[in-house]
Amino acid sequence: MKQDTLLIVEDNVLLRDAIAEMLTMDGFFVLTAGNGEEALSQMESVSPDLILSDISMPVMDGFEFFHLIRERQEWLSIPFIFLTARGDQAHVLTGKGLGAEDYLIKPVNHTELLTAIRARLSRSQQLRLARLREAYQASLTVLANAIEVRDRYTRGHVERVTAYAIVLGEQLGWSGKQLEDLRYGAILHDIGKIHIEEMTLQKQGPLNHNEWVIMQQHPVIGANMVKNIPFLSPAVPAVLYHHECWDGSGYPHGLKGNEIPMMARVVAVADAFDAMTTTRSYRQAQSIELAFKELVKGEGTLFDPDVIEAFKKCWHQDKIQEIFKAWNTNNHLEQTPKQRFQ
Ligand SMILES: [Fe+2]
Ligand SMILES: [Fe+2]
């Protein structure tokens, strides 16, 4: 496990050494500085996981040090705890007003110090992880959207399918990891289309036999692309099986009913709804009301009845319409479908 680095900024050498020794014994890597300026120069080479700083110090006091830390983007999220002299209420209030995470009154008690440090570290780790996850999802969406650059008809498809799938998953009572896997599955479901020629993706009118055979390979190609990436492998069921149908008439394996992983059955409904309500190279978009009726017609044949039930509930709560409107306020939609789901 990574050893957390703490920076102790305190001009009282005895106190600083005592705190440093105590925290080193607790398993932290401890850096020390006698004032804000010294601390800043230390931070140019090592960025600590948490700062514990006195307020009254020569050269640069704790408040000025805190200000300078928060001015730097890369140091903005480092938890900062002030050490203050007993009864110094004005200092406590100023520190809180500045937005410091916590303050401790000197002389500090070991348990109190350790509790405050651990609480702040774990909170900042959670935030870091959440930010990392967000950045990760954003890069995945960019990658998935690479298909959209080649196929102008599917602009926003990935984001809308993901949004529809998530409301369906929530309606089905999913949460946590299950919902997260569904999100990755929806983002990546068409990733295999990256290997399909632009001419085929953008073809006006129906595909010929050969083109159709190639198009039907995109779930298999996509699944092969992501299956060996540990973080993405939970998306494989959605990628591989999102074109399977409840009655066994889908592709690539012709799976039936419960043989189709649940995540894929959810993505299939979200995907079909978006395909019907957006203009594609081979047909115009239809209205969401018509698309809703079409989906309901497919209950028990093309689609899992439980997922369609969830879709109906989301529809009656306007959740589907809200996603559609959010994406289509500036888009021109036309009617008359020539072909149903792709
Ligand atoms: Fe697909
Ligand atoms: Fe799709």
Report the Cα–Cα distance between both ends of the chain, in Å, rounded.
Answer: 48
Count of CB atoms situated within 10 Å of the CB of 21: 11
Output the CA 89–ligand 1 centroid distance in Å.
Answer: 63
| Whether residue 209 is found in the same domain as residue 155 | yes
What pLDDT is recorded for position 87? Answer: 61
* Strand 80-85, strand 50-54: pairing: parallel
What pLDDT is recorded for position 91? Answer: 67
State how far the Cα of 321 lies from the Cα of 319, in Å rounded to an integer: 6
Output the CA 298–ligand 1 centroid distance in Å.
Answer: 18
- Max mean pLDDT range (155-159, 178-182, 226-230, 312-316): 312-316
Residue 341: band (very low, low, confident or very high) from pLDDT cuts 50, 70, 90? very low
Nearest ligand to the CA of 250 is 1
Residue 339: band (very low, low, confident or very high) from pLDDT cuts 50, 70, 90? very low
Output the CA 59–ligand 1 centroid distance in Å.
Answer: 64
| Whether residue 269 is found in the same domain as residue 152 | yes
Residue 332: band (very low, low, confident or very high) from pLDDT cuts 50, 70, 90? very low
Q: Which of 142-151, 165-174, 306-315 has the lowest mean pLDDT?
A: 142-151
What pLDDT is recorded for position 328? Answer: 76
Q: What is the mean pLDDT of residues 96-122?
A: 80
Q: What is the secondary structure of 150-191 as a DSSP string?
A: H-GGGTTHHHHHHHHHHHHHHHTT--HHHHHHHHHHHHHTTG
Res. 178: pLDDT tops 80: yes
- Tens digits of residue pLDDT in 64-96: 899 898 888 888 888 888 888 756 666 666 666
Range of the domain at 113: 5-126
Q: Which of 92-96, 106-110, 332-336 has the lowest mean pLDDT?
A: 332-336
Q: Structure pTM?
A: 0.65
What pLDDT is recorded for position 150? Answer: 65
Q: What is the mean pLDDT of residues 23-33?
A: 92
| Count of domains forming the chain | 2
| Whether residue 88 is found in the same domain as residue 159 | no
Count of CB atoms situated within 10 Å of the CB of 58: 10
3-state secondary structure 59-83: CCCHHHHHHHHHHCHHHCCCCEEEE
Residue 217: band (very low, low, confident or very high) from pLDDT cuts 50, 70, 90? very high
Which residues have beta carbons under 5 A from ligand 2 (an ion)? 190, 271
Output the CA 324–ligand 2 centroid distance in Å.
Answer: 16
Higher per-residue confidence, 322 vs 116: 322
Amino acid at 136: Y
Considering the domain boundaries, does residue 282 fall inside one? yes
Final residue in a domain of this structure, among 67, 98, 126: 126
What pLDDT is recorded for position 1? Answer: 60
What value does the mean pLDDT of the chain take? 86
State how far the Cα of 27 lies from the Cα of 271, in Å rounded to an integer: 51
CATH number at residue 263: 1.10.3210.10
Res. 342: pLDDT tops 70: no
> Which candidate, 210, 207, 211, 264, places its Cα nearest to that of 238?
264
Q: What is the secondary structure of 171-182 as a DSSP string?
A: HTT--HHHHHHH
Final residue in a domain of this structure, among 95, 126, 157: 126
User: Is the Cβ–Cβ distance between 172 and 314 less than 8 Å?
Assistant: no
| Whether residue 229 is found in the same domain as residue 316 | yes
State how far the Cα of 31 lies from the Cα of 16, in Å rounded to an integer: 10
Percent of all residues in the chain with a pLDDT value above 70, rounded to a whole number: 88
Q: Please tell me what DSSP assigns to residue 303.
A: B
